[in-house]
Amino acid sequence: MRTREIRACYDRDSITVYQAYAPEIGGPAARQGTFVPPFSRHRMTWIKPSFLWLMARSNWARKPGQETILAVRITRAGWEEALGLAVPTDPDRRVFRSADEWPRRFAKAMVHVQWDPERSLHGRKLETRSIQIGLSRHIVDRYVDDWIIGIEDRTPLVRKIHGLRQAGRIPQARALLPEERPYPLAPALAERLGAS
């Protein structure tokens, strides 16, 4: 199994990423189909294509400030633009050729990339690493104004899956998970990201 790969729900034109917010941000975003105040365009926002990774992070929408789970459909062109600007958050030797290259590039990075352990349905850390992308305030406008196709509130689905999981009905819970598959990356882009 690959140690670092992007797994996502995607089609020819779009990819779905997930975010968790407090209801006062997530609710209006889902109703408007894009982010509106009090969402801030002046701080970094992280997007993740792995549903189960976000479930572990948000404790199934029960962590304070992360009670609303959004599925954000964005253009693949926007996603790949972000990936093309991304710099890893650590000095990965597979990506950087010298010790001084990473701090120099990271200091100017508009987009950060981080590889975290993928999670199982039970929240267990897996060997495979899952990507999350941090969009800095310098590119959040592009995300909100140009890349987003639509936003859905997936909180009811999250609660349903979590309830089934808690009740030990694992096959039923697993059947409701979004279908994620490996996302194709051009070799140069995979190398830039440190993907396997």
Given CA atoms 95, 120, 180, 78 in this order, what sign does their dihedral have? negative
Which residue range forms the structural domain that includes residue 140? Answer: 7-185
Predicted local distance difference test score (pLDDT) of residue 1 = 43
Asked if residue 64 has a cis previous peptide bond (ω within 30° of 0), the answer is no
User: What three-state secondary structure class fits 8?
Assistant: strand
What is the tally of structural domains in the chain? Answer: 1
In a domain, 69, yes or no: yes
* Position 45 in a domain: yes
CB 131, CB 4: distance < 8 Å:
yes
CB 125 within 8 A of CB 3: no
The residue-averaged pLDDT of 173-187 equals 96
Structure pTM? 0.94
Q: Does some domain include residue 1?
A: no
Identify the burial level of 21 via C-beta atoms within 10 angstroms of its C-beta, where 0-12 means exposed, 13-18 middle and 19 or more buried: buried
Quick one: which of 58, 56, 13 has its CA closest to 150? 13
For the stretch 65-123, pLDDT in tens is: 999 999 999 999 999 999 999 999 988 888 888 888 999 999 999 999 999 999 999 99
Domain assignment present for residue 192? The answer is no
Is the pLDDT confidence value at 124 over 80? Answer: yes
